[in-house]
Amino acid sequence: MHVINFIPHISTISVKVGVIVFPGSNCDRDMYHVLTDVFNLSAQYIWHEKRLPKNIDAVVLPGGFSYGDRLRAGVIAAHSPIISDVKKLAKKGIPILGVCNGFQILVESGLLPGVLLKNDSLNFMCEWINLIVKNNTTPFTNKLELNQKIPIPIANGEGRYFVDEHMAKKLKKKNQIVFSYENYVNGSMEKIAGVCNEDGNVVGMMPHPERATEKEINPNDNKPSTLIFESLIQSIGAKN
């Protein structure tokens, strides 16, 4: 596929990103393509029964239908052997991103607060929407402006974010709301589209940044989405 012109600020090829593959993951290959072909990172697939390499710089849980969404989206995958490794890395402050089903898995495994319920339309929804950046201090948003718009597609049946009121207050206080929808989309509380943990290194989002970084497939503006990945590179570069 075509590759957009991206000028790396650091030697990106040395950045190692693990893409976890669960049975039923189906955006793993898309994410891998974007990480490697578009941003020139060293991505590797890691099967859910394997261990995460110790020297990994970041971890992505891609979208899909792990275990066919049985019981509840993400709940079975949250019990995969690899999740205990993810938890360890999360504690260490390694950047971890869950997209769509990956977000659902992070929520189900307790790494992120809240739950994801069926959309209020009761239908699967595949649409291009606008995100608003609410926290630009995470490793995935540090190159974005606060309140910057990101045109990006969603594709899910269970994407309605919910927490109780007490928790909602806490999320706001601790700046854990990372993205919200510009307009009403699916009944999400506070129009929340993405959150992070208290430390800010674990981020989950329902929309698909890997589907929006290339001009060829983005009917709107692809630049804001590329900043999500450039943020990651910057935050890893800054640490190195």
Partner 1 sequence: MSLQEHETRHIKNTLKRKLTKTELQILAAEWSEHCSYKSSKKHLRMLPTTGPKVINEKGYDSGVLDVGDGYVVTVHIESHNHPSAVEPFGGAATGVGGVIRDILSAGTRPIAIFDGLRFGDIKNDSHAKWLFKNAVTGIADYGNCLGIPTIGGEVEFDKCYKNYALVDVAAVGFGRKEKLIKNHARTGDLVVLIGGSTGRDGIGGSQFASDSLESEDRSAVQIPDPFIEKLIIEAILEARNEKCINAMKDLGGGGLSCAISETAESLGIGIELDVDNVHTREPGLFPDEVIISESQERMLVITNKKKIKKLKKICDKFRIKHSVIGHVKNDKMMHVKKGKRTLALLPVDFVACAPLLDRKKSRPKYLQKIKTTKKTKDISNYSKTILELLSCPNISSKHWVFHQYDHEVGIRTVVKPGFDASVLRLDNGKFLSVKIDGNPKHCYLNPRDGAIGCFEEACRNVVCTGATPIGMVDHLQFGSPEDPEIFWTFMESLEGLTEFAKFLKIPCVGGKVSFYNETPLGPIKPTPLIGVLGIINKTPLHPTPPKSGDYMVIIGNTKNELGGSEYFEYIHNFIGGICPTVDFKNSKSNMSSVLLLIKQGLIRSVHDCSKGGLSIALSEVSIFGNIGCIIDITKVPSEKTLDSEKLLFSETHSRYLLTVSLENINKVKEILSKNKNSFGVLGQFTSDQIIVKYKTKLLIKINVDKAQRKYFNTLKEILDNG
51, 124, 221, 239: residue in contact with partner 1 (rule CB under 8 A): 124
Q: Answer yes or no whether residue 155 interacts with partner 1 by CB under 8 A.
A: yes
The CA-to-CA distance between both ends of the chain, in Å, stands at: 31
Distance CA 199, CA 203 (A): 10
Q: Characterize 30-57 residue by residue with b for buried, 16 or more Cβ atoms within 10 angstroms of its Cβ, and e for exposed.
A: bbbbbbbbbbbbebeebebeeebeeebb
- Catalytic residue selected from 108, 208, 214, 230: 208
DSSP 60-121: EE--B-GGGG-SSTTTTGGGSTHHHHHHHHHHHT--EEEETHHHHHHHHTTSS-SEEEPPTT
CB-neighbour burial class of residue 145 (10 A; exposed 0-12, middle 13-18, buried 19+) = exposed
Beta carbon of residue 204, minimum distance to partner 1 (angstroms, whole number): 19
Given 100, 158, 214, 230, the catalytic residue: 100
159 binds partner 1 per the rule CB under 8 A: no
Q: Does 68 bind partner 1 (CB under 8 A)?
A: yes
Position 70 contacts partner 1 (CB under 8 A): yes
Residue 132 φ/ψ, nearest 5 degrees = -120, 130
Say whether residue 5 binds partner 1 (CB under 8 A).
no
Distance of CA 53 to the CA centre of its chain: 20
Instruction: Report if residue 22 touches partner 1, rule: CB under 8 A.
Output: no
The smaller minimum CB distance to partner 1, of residues 70 and 172, is found at 70
Give the residue carrying structure tokens 């669960």. 22
19/236 with CB nearer partner 1: 19
* Among residues 39, 67, 103, 140, the one that binds partner 1 under rule CB under 8 A: 67
Which listed residue (75, 117, 125, 167) binds partner 1 by CB under 8 A? 125
Is residue 88 within 8 A of residue 56, CB to CB? The reply is no
Say whether 100 is catalytic.
yes
Q: Contact between 1 and partner 1 (CB under 8 A)?
A: yes
Is 110 a binding residue for partner 1 by CB under 8 A? The answer is no
Binding-site ranges for partner 1 (CB under 8 A)? 1-2, 23-24, 26-27, 29-30, 33-34, 47, 63-65, 67-70, 123-127, 153, 155, 157, 208, 210-211, 214, 216-217, 219
Q: Which residues are catalytic?
A: 100, 208, 210
